[in-house]
Amino acid sequence: MHFFSLNTGDQIPALGLGTWKSAPGLVGAAVTEAITAGYRHIDCAPIYQNEPEVGKALAECLNAGAVSRQDLWITSKLWNNAHAPEQVEPALRQTLSDLQLDYLDLFLIHWPVVFTPGVLFAQQPEEYIPLAQQPIIDTWKALEACKDKGLVRNIGVCNFSIAKLRALCDQATMQPAVNQIELHPYLQQNEMLAFCREHNILLTAYSPLGSGDRPKALKKKEEPNLLDNPVVGKVAARHGITPAQTLLAWGVHRKTVVIPKSTNPKRIRENLAAADLHLDHQDMTDLAALDLGFRFVDGSFFCGNGSPYSLQSLWDTEPGR
């Protein structure tokens, strides 16, 4: 397994198990299977609504001696309804309790979007709080305090644009270690990759396989399919590997962490093996040509219903882009 260094000096495994969309009743077995197969990195979040089951599986693996806590890398996230500084530590403690852990390796702000406390998913205008009213830097300071207390080893963000990262880096006492964003050959984000390299922030790629199991409501009518892409297929055939392995090896080659989700034992193992596969210059050139700037998870679910958030404000893009 490859590791990447964070700006804190910690080493994060290059490939982890994603748990978004992993159904209750399946996610625990997936975590156990993954750890047995050799995964040492699990990516979690309270909004996935499966942390108690993940925690039970982790506890069983740890108690059985299948792995030691210091060899595991566990990431979780702060949900949008707990950005108020006084709510950050209680939300983290709930996640720690659900995961049956006494610290996280990495704690991330899940979205630069704020809901009113207690709201799981905002549906009404009054259930949103604009960032101007609940600034990211105040939430970030509360994450820094959690790190000072030893509750988390590293802190970072998800879904941050370059503009938001820049603003955070300018104001923060502790620099973010990670930005977790959607990354795959249809959304290569090369500017972001260059910015993060320059600022010593590691990128984690979510939806590296295109997240085909998203609920219908989160899908657009006509979406390109990543796993069926002929160029991906051609690169896979050249190496005798699968399209999924090609996509994951592409991410690792770019020195980004990849967190494929699977609850299928065979695919869990297939994905892990991808971290040790090598793509060559021709492969990377062929795959580089696939960039469409296409987001499978575009955040539009935060932008309706009279929300103060828009796609432009979320991603800091020009109108119409």
Q: Smaller CB distance to ligand A2P: residue 75 or 271?
A: 271
In whole angstroms, the minimum distance from the beta carbon of 130 to ligand A2P comes to 30
- 239 near ligand A2P, judged by CB under 6 A: no
18 touches ligand A2P by CB under 6 A: yes
213 touches ligand A2P (CB under 6 A): yes
What is the C-alpha R_g of the chain?
A: 19
* Cβ(204)–Cβ(15) below 8 Å: no
- Calculate the alpha carbon distances from 12 to 2, 3, 4, 31, 75 in Å: 9, 5, 5, 18, 10
Enter the tokens of residue 200: 């010593």
Q: How far apart are CA 184 and CA 206, in angstroms?
A: 8
By C-beta, is 104 or 232 nearer to ligand A2P? 232
Q: DSSP letter for 8, please.
A: T
| Residue 76 touching ligand A2P (CB under 6 A) | no
State the nearest-atom distance from the C-beta of 216 to ligand A2P, in Å: 13
**Are residues 80 and 114 in contact, defined by beta-carbon separation less than 8 angstroms?**
yes
Question: Phi, psi at residue 10, to the nearest 5°?
Answer: -70, 155
Q: Does 83 bind ligand A2P (CB under 6 A)?
A: no
Within 10 angstroms of residue 23's Cβ, the number of other Cβ atoms is 12
Strand spans (E) along 30-72: 41-43
What Cα–Cα distance (Å) separates residue 242 from each residue in 34, 120, 301? 19, 37, 32
Residue 186 is a catalytic residue: no
Nearer to ligand A2P, 20 or 309 (CB): 20
Active-site residue, selected from the candidate residues 48, 186, 206, 309:
48
Q: CB of residue 73 vs ligand A2P: minimum separation in angstroms?
A: 17
From 135, 212, 224, 233, residue interacting with ligand A2P (rule: CB under 6 A): 212
The reply to whether 229 sits near ligand A2P by the rule CB under 6 A is: no
DSSP character for 112?
Answer: S
Q: How far is the CB of 26 from ligand A2P (least distance, A)?
A: 8
**CB 116, min distance to ligand A2P, A:** 29
- Phi and psi at residue 275, to the nearest 5°: -65, -20
140 or 206: CB nearest ligand A2P: 206
Q: Is 261 in the site for ligand A2P (CB under 6 A)?
A: yes
Q: Which two tokens stand for residue 76?
A: 């979780």
Exactly one of 50, 159, 207, 246 binds ligand A2P (CB under 6 A); that residue is 207
DSSP symbol at 184? B
Does residue number 112 form part of the binding site for ligand A2P (CB under 6 A)? no
Residues that bind ligand A2P (CB under 6 A): 18, 207-213, 227, 242, 244, 260-264, 267, 270-271
Please give the positions annotated as active site.
Answer: 48
